[in-house]
Structure 1
Amino acid sequence: MRLQHPTGMAAEERAAQYLQAQGCRIVVRNWHCKSGEIDLVAWDGAVCVFVEVRLRSSEQFGGAAASITASKQRKLLLSAQTYLQAEHQTEPECRFDAVLINGEGHIEWLKNIIGM
């Protein structure tokens, strides 16, 4: 099992609170499988949302959004497929979102970051 840095845990907690304030229901945190990890799984109405949380103190290397590379997106897709196979009898409508937190604590919620 991977140990998570306290700063990362705090960022995921902030992201979860933010999404809940927006009306989402958080159902899973830090779900792991062979393919990778999903930071948060939430329901936004009838849509199952897989959320990647990114914290960046600086925009120097492109910021938080730029850190979600094509490789990371593939891992998210594989992890989500594994999650759905393990947890759901039927496949719900799904979406991949990102919650970005910068060094000043500003939160940005990007919806549908991976086109399916």
Structure 2
Amino acid sequence: MRHLFFTRSIYCGRVSCPVKKKIGVEGEKIAEKYLLSRGYKILKRNWFCYAGELDFVAFKNKLIFVEVKTLSRSTGDDPSAMLTRRKKLKWYHTSNYFLLRHHLLGADWRYDFVGIIKNGEKFLLRHYKNISIP
């Protein structure tokens, strides 16, 4: 008797989930190299809690919560468009829980966004600093 095992979701939109995950991991590696080359110290990678996940918690004169979005050129979208109000609120709650959990409520901090577009083997990166959260 054969058993078939299915992942929770076979497809996520137009691109299969494993492909999206691979693109996301590649993007996070590129973003990490970029941040390190700019003098940022990476404190945490993919930190998660009940409220959500933080791609990077970094430090450069202050604590920085970094969100990374990577898209393939075939989607035709701008990665910054993926940073919706709902995502910002989740980011806000997750970062506040991080501050509380690590006893850093009085720390100076900000939000940064790194948008990456993959075009074949090339990557186009844009760093948005001090993103406002509603």
TM-score range normalised by the length of the shorter chain: 0.7 to 0.9
TM-score, L = length of structure 1? 0.87
Aligned partner of 2:92 in structure 1 is 77
Aligned partner of 1:111 in structure 2 is 129
CA distance, structure 2, for counterparts of residue 84 and residue 32 of structure 1: 13
Give the RMSD, CA atoms, in angstroms: 1.7
Q: Displacement of 1:78 after TM fit?
A: 0.2
Q: Displacement of 1:88 after TM fit?
A: 2.7
* 1:34 pairs with one of 50, 57, 63: 50
CA distance, structure 2, for counterparts of residue 7 and residue 66 of structure 1: 17
2:18 is equivalent to residue 18 of structure 1: no
* Higher relative contact order (Cα pairs below 8 Å, separated by 6+ residues): 1
**What 5-or-longer segments of structure 1 have no aligned partner?**
none
**Aligned residue-pair number:** 111
Larger Rg: 2
Residue deviations 1:6-62 (CA, integer Å, cap 9, x gap)? 3212211110110010010001000111111110000012x100000011123634x
2:64 is equivalent to residue 49 of structure 1: yes
CA distance, structure 2, for counterparts of residue 89 and residue 38 of structure 1: 16
Report % sequence identity: 31
Aligned partner of 2:15 in structure 1 is none
